[in-house]
Each structure stands twice: as structure tokens, then as C-alpha cells.
């Protein structure tokens, strides 16, 4: 492992944690790390566009060990977990996963994890970047509920791309072929216990392998690389180009604690009709009745190829500031600048033309479009 200069730039001392795959990502040439859930997160191995084409045409391997697992167990585990999220979990079977939002009393989104139900009274949340353990501990203590809450030493990787099924079959055999979308199995890779889910953050076919023994990170990584060799499996960061094309949201950028599910297009997750209570139910019922005031919409931004937005670019209508771009990127497939904007509903209708202030480039016309830029049913035009 090289004591890379880049590390000094984002780390001082042992405050930031490493995933079990850290050494493997260094060996395989990770060039850039961000910080996510207080851990180093490798986000770049190659040019971002080169990584995009690997994902779209072949198959990629991502270290997403930063998706920390919060485990909820104990006598009140079901009741408590069902209270955390507006989704009705009564129909969530053991072996099933669900994309959920965790909501605050005002309906604001605390996190948007993938939930796994491992037993009647055992749930995991694979977290986006916020300290849900603190939220859950505060709430459980305040309510006096009988739950045990812990962050586990469990770390996922993602295998995403059209050839991911072949890689998974090479790694795990036939058992993986019948795995349904948002379901999981408990199995082993060369004796290493894992959980395998049909989930991912790419809009392509994909899987996650949750490593259960944190000292086996390098061994699991190399096993997957070996199985993927015939399919040109490449380690990459998650692809922001592909996830924006696919209408997928990034917590912290497109969703924050200030935003509710009705604003960010996740109202399908709010089961107001369920009998059980959940945190934020009265606030969300009111928002459902009155309608949200803002909406996260798709936008196409005119002009030359943009660089990835590092800040939330201002959006204006008739010269007056109205909102912000939350994500924006150039899609090499669509040959367009695409992204999302949070806008007041009166400026959020399809076809509305607005102005975006792009750093070092000035004002550009932007048009409100559907947020799903690439239909999952359609094939992306290959490079």
C-alpha cells in the first residue's frame, strides 16, 4: 500500500475510518476518496466518463462499505422500525429488502437507506450519509422502546452493469439466478459468509454483496475480481452520470433534512393509509392534502458540455432567484447536460424555461423535463 499523497489531503490522524476493502482499493489504483459516514469512500479509479462506459457496457465493482449497517433487534424491533419510516412494513417478508425513507416529525428526510428484513425481529438499514444511529437511539430512548440498536461491522460492495449476472453466477453459481429485485439470500463466497441483494445505485442490472466478517475485505474483493475477469470487471467509483440518467437521488445533494418525500418525488413511499403511526405522519398527511410547495424536477441545461456541479447552482426565472440545481452532469450517451433542480411548484411544470448560473460560464437556459432521463426498459446507446 502506497502512503499516497492524496490521503494527506483528506485525512489527518485516525478520525476517518477505512472500509474493509481499503487496502484492496489502494492496490487496484483508487485515485480519489470522499468521506461518507465518517469513512473513506473511493470514488475514482479512472476518468469518470471511462468509468461510465465500463458500467454501461460491461460490469463494475464498487467499495460501498460506507453504507453503514444499523441493526434493529429486540422485542419492539418491528414496531420501532415501522415507526421510523412512512413505508408500511407489514408486508415486508423475511428475505425482502425495501428502499425506504426515514422521516423527521416535520416530514423532512433523515436518510434514504435500503432496509433488509433478516428475521421477524431483525432489521438492517444500509445507510446514506447521516448518523441514523444517533437519530434512532435518541428516539428509542425518548419513547422508552425495547430495542437494541447497533452499527455492525458489515460492509457492502456493489457489482453493477449488464454483465453483473454472469459475474455473480461465476462467483456463487445458480442460486443467484433466481434472486428477485429487492430480495436477498444469505450465502458464502469461498467460505466467507455474505448476504447478496439484487439492489444498486446505477440504473443497470446489479447486485450488492454484504461482507459479514470485516477482516475478509481483501479476500472477498480478489474473489470477485477473479470471477469477473472474463467479463472485464473493473473497480470504479459509483457513476453519477448513470445514476442521474436513471433518476436516482443522492442524499445530501438532492435530498436533505429540509426536504420531504412529496418534494423529491418519493411520495410513493408514504403509506398514509396504514393503521400504524410513523414519525412525521401528521405533517406528511397535511403536505399530501395541501400539496408540496417545491418539487425536484429534471432539467436539461443548454450550451457546451458542463463540468459536474460542485455547488448548488442558482436557478432564476425572469431574473429573480427561484431555486437551485442539486445535481448536474454531462451525459455522453444523451449528449446533453442533464440534472435536477429544486423549484417552487409554480416553476416546476414540464417545459418551463429557466436560467441557471453556471460558474465560469454564466447564465444558461434550462428546461424542465421528466426526471427519468433514460428509461430502464430502453437500452443506452453504447459508445
What is the closest distance, in whole angstroms, from the C-beta atom of residue 13 to a copy of itself in the complex?
5
Question: Rounded to whole angstroms, how far apart are CA atoms 73 and 67?
Answer: 19
Q: Does 142 sit near a copy of itself (CB under 8 A)?
A: yes
Count other Cβ atoms within 10 Å, centred on residue 273.
Answer: 6
Which of 52, 62, 135, 210 touches a copy of itself (CB under 8 A)? 135
- In terms of CB distance, is 33 or 210 closer to a copy of itself? 33
Q: Taking the chain, what is the end-to-end CA distance rounded to the nearest angstrom?
A: 34
- What does the per-residue mask of binding to a copy of itself show for 175-214, with x meaning CB under 8 A? ----------------------------------------
Query: Could you identify the residue written with the cell 393509509?
Result: 273
> In this chain, which of 100, 101, 126, 140 binds a copy of itself, going by CB under 8 A?
140
Interacting residues with a copy of itself between 252 and 311 (CB under 8 A): 252-253, 257, 279, 307-311
Part of the chain binding a copy of itself (CB under 8 A), chosen from 29-37, 69-77, 263-271, 345-353: 29-37
Q: Which of 24, 43, 92, 227 binds a copy of itself (CB under 8 A)?
A: 43
Type and span of the H or E element at 338: strand 336-344
Nearer to a copy of itself, 226 or 307 (CB): 307
- Determine if 2 is a binding residue for a copy of itself (CB under 8 A): no
CA angle centred on 295, ends 342 and 293, rounded to 5°: 110
How many residues bind to a copy of itself according to rule CB under 8 A? Answer: 59
β strands within 64-205, DSSP E: 69-73, 97-99, 102-103, 109-111, 114-119, 122-126, 148-151, 155-160, 184-189, 192-197
Which helix H or strand E contains 234, and what residues bound it?
strand 234-235
Please calculate the CA angle 204-207-213 and round it to the nearest 5 degrees: 150
How far is Cα 220 from Cα 211, in angstroms, rounded to an integer? 8
State whether the Cα torsion 40-126-121-149 is positive or negative: positive
Q: Determine if 154 is a binding residue for a copy of itself (CB under 8 A).
A: no
Binders of a copy of itself in range 87-126 (CB under 8 A): 104-105, 110
Site for a copy of itself in 326-355 (CB under 8 A): 326-327, 329
Closest to a copy of itself by CB, 148 or 379: 148
- What is the closest distance, in whole angstroms, from the C-beta atom of residue 1 to a copy of itself in the complex? 8
Least Å from the CB of residue 138 to a copy of itself:
3
Angle (CA) 140-142-148 rounded to 5° is 20
Nearer to a copy of itself, 43 or 59 (CB): 43
| Region of residue 96 (left: phi > 0; alpha: psi -120 to 50; beta: else) | beta
Which residues are 363's β-sheet partners?
A: 357
Residue with cell 417478508: 93
For a copy of itself, the closer CB: 127 or 168: 127
> Which residue from 237, 265, 323, 332 is in contact with a copy of itself, where contact means CB under 8 A?
237
Residues making contact with a copy of itself (CB under 8 A): 3, 6-16, 18, 31-35, 38, 43-44, 104-105, 110, 129-144, 237, 240, 250-253, 257, 279, 307-312, 325-327, 329, 360
Amino acid at each position: 500500500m502506497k502512503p499516497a499523497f492524496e490521503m494527506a489531503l483528506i485525512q489527518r490522524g485516525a478520525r476517518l475510518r477505512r472500509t474493509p476493502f481499503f487496502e484492496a482499493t489502494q492496490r487496484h489504483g483508487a485515485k480519489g476518496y470522499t468521506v461518507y459516514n465518517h469513512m473513506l469512500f473511493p470514488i475514482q479509479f479512472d476518468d469518470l466518463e471511462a468509468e461510465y462506459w465500463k458500467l454501461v457496457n460491461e460490469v463494475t465493482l464498487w467499495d460501498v462499505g460506507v453504507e453503514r449497517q444499523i441493526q434493529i433487534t429486540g422485542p419492539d424491533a418491528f414496531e420501532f422500525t415501522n415507526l421510523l419510516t412512512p413505508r408500511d412494513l407489514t408486508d415486508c417478508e423475511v428475505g425482502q429488502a425495501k428502499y425506504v425513507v426515514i422521516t423527521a416529525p416535520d416530514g423532512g428526510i433523515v436518510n434514504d437507506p435500503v432496509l433488509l428484513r433478516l428475521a421477524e425481529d431483525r432489521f438492517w438499514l444500509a445507510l446514506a450519509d447521516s448518523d441514523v444511529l444517533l437519530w434512532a437511539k435518541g428516539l428509542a430512548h425518548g419513547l422508552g422502546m425495547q430495542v437494541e440498536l447497533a452499527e455492525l461491522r458489515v460492509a457492502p460492495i456493489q457489482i453493477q452493469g449488464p454483465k453483473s449476472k454472469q459475474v455473480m453466477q461465476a462467483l456463487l453459481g445458480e442460486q443467484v439466478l433466481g434472486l428477485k429485485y429487492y430480495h436477498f439470500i444469505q450465502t458464502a463466497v469461498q467460505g466467507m459468509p455474505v448476504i447478496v441483494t439484487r439492489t444498486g445505485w446505477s440504473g443497470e442490472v446489479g447486485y450488492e454483496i454484504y461482507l459479514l466478517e470485516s477482516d475478509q475485505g481483501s479476500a472477498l474483493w480478489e474473489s470477485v475480481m477473479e470471477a469477473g475477469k472474463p467479463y472485464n470487471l473493473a473497480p470504479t467509483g459509483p457513476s453519477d452520470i448513470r445514476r442521474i440518467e436513471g433518476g436516482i437521488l443522492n442524499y445530501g445533494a438532492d435530498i436533505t433534512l429540509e426536504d420531504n418525500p412529496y418534494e423529491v418525488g418519493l411520495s410513493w413511499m408514504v403509506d398514509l393509509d396504514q393503521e400504524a403511526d410513523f414519525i412525521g405522519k401528521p405533517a406528511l398527511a397535511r403536505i399530501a392534502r395541501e400539496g408540496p410547495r417545491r418539487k425536484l424536477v429534471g432539467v436539461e441545461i443548454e450550451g457546451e458540455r458542463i463540468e459536474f456541479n460542485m455547488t448548488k447552482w442558482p436557478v432564476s426565472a425572469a431574473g429573480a432567484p427561484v431555486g437551485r440545481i442539486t445535481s448536474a452532469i454531462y451525459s455522453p450517451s444523451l449528449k446533453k447536460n442533464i440534472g435536477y433542480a429544486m423549484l417552487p411548484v409554480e416553476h416546476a411544470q414540464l417545459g418551463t424555461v429557466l436560467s441557471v448560473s453556471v460558474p465560469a460560464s454564466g447564465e444558461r437556459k434550462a428546461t424542465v423535463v421528466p426526471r427519468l432521463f433514460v428509461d430502464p426498459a430502453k437500452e443506452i446507446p453504447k459508445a
